[in-house]
Amino acid sequence: MQRFDFAGATAVVTGAASGIGAALAHALAGRGSDLVLLDRDAERLDAVAAEIRAEYPDRHLHTYLVDLADAAATARVAAEIGQRHPRIRLLVNNAGVGLGGRFDQVTYDEFSWVIDINFRAVVQLTHALLPMLKAEPGAHLVNVSSLFGLIAPAGQTAYSASKFAVRGFTEALRHELVDDGIGVTSVHPGGIRTRITENARIGSGVSHEEYAAGRAQFEKLLTIAPARAAEVILRGVQRRRGRVLIGWSAKLPDLLARVLPASYNRLLVTGLNRGVARPAPPASVPSTTST
C-alpha cells in the first residue's frame, strides 16, 4: 500500500475542539488537507476553525456541532457529511470521554454513556462514512483507542471496555479493508495533556475527595503535548501503520501486559509507589483524547 497523501484530501476529525483533535486539525491543514470537524463544544470548535481559516485561508473547512452520545443526532450529522463530502480520504474517530469509579461505583446509565461515545459513535460514523472512504483511492481510517485499550486497571471498567472494543473493531476492519486499499490505524495514547479530566464524569458512588485525590495524582502523568501526539499519529497514517502507541507511558505498560498478561497490574502499582509512571488509580480518569 502506498504512503498516504494528505494534499488535497478531505479529512473528518471528531473531538476537534481541543486536545489531540484540535492539534490534528491544525497539522492536517498544514499538510494540505481540507477539513470536516465535529465536536459538541460550539465555542471551542469555532475558535479552532477561526485559527485554521486565518492561517490557511485556502483550505475548505466545515464544522458540525453534535453530541455523539445522541445516536439520532450522530446519524443526522453523518448523513449530512456524506451528502456534502462524497469523497473522504481520512476519517479520524478521536472523540472520547472518561468516567471515574469502579464498576460497583457507577450506574448502568453512566457506564452506557461512556460506551455510547467511545465505541458506539465510532462504529456508527465509520459505518455511515465507509462508502465515502471506499470511493476515494488511498483512503485511511484512524480510530483512537487508549493505553486502556491495551491494559485494564482497576477503576476503569467502562473506559477500558469501550477502548478494548475500539481496538478489536479496528483490528478486524484492518483485515477486512486491506483488499479495498484502505489503511486502518488503531491509536493508543499514553499521558497526553488534554481536557479529558475536565470532561470526565464521576461515578455516583465515588466520593469527591477520593476522585480529587486520584485526579491530582493522575494529572502529573500527562506530559505529552497534543501537537506532539498529532505528529506521531499522522506519521503513522502516512506510513500506513496498523497500530500507533504514543509515549513510553503507553509502550512500557503494553510490553508488561504482553509479558505478564495476568499480573501486570501489581508491577504497575509497585512502579507508581517508586515514582514510575503508571495508569491512573481507581477513582481517577483515563488518559486519551477528548471533546
Question: Cα(139)–Cα(177) distance, rounded to whole angstroms?
Answer: 10
Contact at 8 Å (CB) between 149 and 103? no
Q: Who's near 151: CB < 8 A, 6+ residues apart?
A: 160, 253, 254, 256, 257, 264, 265, 268, 279
CA dihedral of 146, 170, 110, 199, whole degrees rounded to 10: 40
Instruction: Kindly tell me the sign of the dihedral angle through the C-alpha atoms of 77, 82, 83, 86.
Output: positive
Q: What is the CA radius of gyration of the chain?
A: 18
Q: Cα(208)–Cα(78) distance, rounded to whole angstroms? A: 37
Greatest pairwise CA separation for the chain in angstroms = 54
Q: Name the active-site residue from 56, 159, 211, 264.
A: 159
Catalytic residue list contains 159: yes
First-to-last CA distance in the chain? Answer: 32
Which residues are the active-site residues?
Answer: 159
